[in-house]
Structure 1
Amino acid sequence: MGAVKTKRMPRAVREQQMLDAAVRIFGQRGYMAASMDDIAELAGVSKPLVYLYLNSKDDLFLAVIRREAAALTEAVRTAVRLDQPADRRLWDGLLAFFTHTARHPDAWSVLHLHARTHGEPFAAEVTAMRAEIVTFVTRLIAVAAREAHRNPDLADHEVAGLAEALVGAAESLAAWANTGDGVGARQAAATLMNFAWAGLGSLMAGRAWSPPAP
């Protein structure tokens, strides 16, 4: 059989086409089981063309991680309007996160599962993405809490801990929500909002829970 015939199109468009195919194959099969032959076939191009554009399987996987991490981060950032009340900001961010991961389950599988299990530099890219989201959520919580308390000196470590807990819960809930037994994005966001806002709302109102004395 001869090489796969391809229509002439701009390199950037063809590259995105290959990345789209790679997201699907990597997301559904994982890094080890994914083959460049299958990615090329799904993209409708020859395998040599995939290597010409993206060099190697490692480079292709890294490009997929970077593209999908940037897309998820951008979806969360653009959904949040800073002129809204604190609870609306959090709701909009959570809804954007769950909506994006539900619409792109293969991409979320790459980021949440496969990229973390194949060492550097893949895990480092996901760690950087997560750190960016945590920083963004930390800023949202800090601004809201300090406004509520009129206290610019609210402890940074307390706010950072809340952001870490919230992002971790969102990651776990998204993995469950995207399964056949899960729920839609809106219900997932509402579930986490109800879980988190009861505590955050009380904290912002000055009703922080304190552990019992030792």
Structure 2
Amino acid sequence: MSAPRKRRRGDDTDTRDQLIEATAELMLEEGYAGATTRRVAAKVGVNPALVYYYFPSLDDLFLAVFRKGAEANLERQRKALASENPVRALWETATDARGTALLFEFMALANHRKEIRAEIAAFSERYRESQLTALTIILRSRGFDVEELPPAMMSVVISSLGATLVNESSLGITLGHRELAEFAEDFVRLFEGKPWTRTITPDQPGAGET
């Protein structure tokens, strides 16, 4: 009888990554509640017991999924901020449907898992601090007054508006989205040295007069 095949380091890494990716896909398809150990194992085609070989608990698996995504987001943000048009790249990152949808699932999960809540908070602070440093340099280099247009406010506006568009679109809500997208496009164009094209005027005669 031949001896059992030893598990190679490469096998370990590949299987672990497959379990993480399968969990992320299930969270996107069915919500975090659908990402059970059995469902994850079935999606990868392995025995459920193998999941526990890599992750002692389901929370450990969720944390691994979040951390992998968090590192990928930090790298994507780094590239966006270093690009020729960083503000446009940041907006495109903020409106990424897959990443935003997965983050919302983790936020829902965080309501029941303190460790995951702490992980999200720590990552968000790290992500925003990196963004603030870069935005401050970008704004100043383009002649904007950072007192009049605070980088912190701009960071929150970009991420919040992007998340709102993605979240509402997933629910079938689209009213006002086109107008917001057009406004965001003009806003981004300012940082590319292009003129502001929108004109805002009062609807009623005499409105705004003092």
Q: TM-score, normalization: structure 1?
A: 0.67
CA distance in 2: counterparts of 1:70 and 1:189, whole angstroms: 29
State the partner residue of 1:10: 11
Does 2:111 match 1:114?
no
Aligned CA distance change for structure 1 residues 140 and 122 (closer, same or farther; 3 Å): same
Q: Which runs of 5+ in 2 are unaligned?
A: 1-6, 193-210
State the partner residue of 2:22: 21
CA distance in 1: counterparts of 2:104 and 2:179, whole angstroms: 17
SS at the partner of 1:40? helix
**Aligned AA (1:34):** A
1:145-160 to 2 correspondence within 5 Å?
A: 145-149=139-143, 154-155=146-147, 158-160=150-152
**Structure with a larger share of its residues in helix:** 1
**Aligned AA (2:45):** G
**Aligned AA (1:132):** R
Does 2:90 match 1:93?
yes
CA distance in 1: counterparts of 2:183 and 2:24, whole angstroms: 27
CA distance in 2: counterparts of 1:193 and 1:150, whole angstroms: 17
State the partner residue of 1:210: none
**Aligned AA (1:161):** M
Aligned CA distance change for structure 1 residues 103 and 25 (closer, same or farther; 3 Å): closer
Q: Is the 8 A contact 2:142 2:191 kept in 1?
A: no
CA RMSD of aligned residues (A): 3.6
Query: Cα deviation per residue 1:74-104 (whole Å; 9 max; x = unaligned)?
Result: 222223335x3xxx21002222343xx3355
SS at the partner of 2:72? helix
Does 2:160 match 1:168?
yes
* 1:16 to partner: Cα distance: 0.6
Identity of aligned residues (%): 21
**Aligned AA (1:10):** D
Query: Cα deviation per residue 1:33-87 (whole Å; 9 max; x = unaligned)?
Result: 43211111111111110001111111111111111122222222223335x3xxx
State the partner residue of 2:81: 80
Does 2:185 match 1:194?
yes
**Aligned AA (1:131):** E
CA distance in 2: counterparts of 1:128 and 1:196, whole angstroms: 29
**Aligned AA (1:26):** M
State the partner residue of 2:4: none
Q: How many residues align?
A: 183
CA distance in 1: counterparts of 2:132 and 2:52, whole angstroms: 40
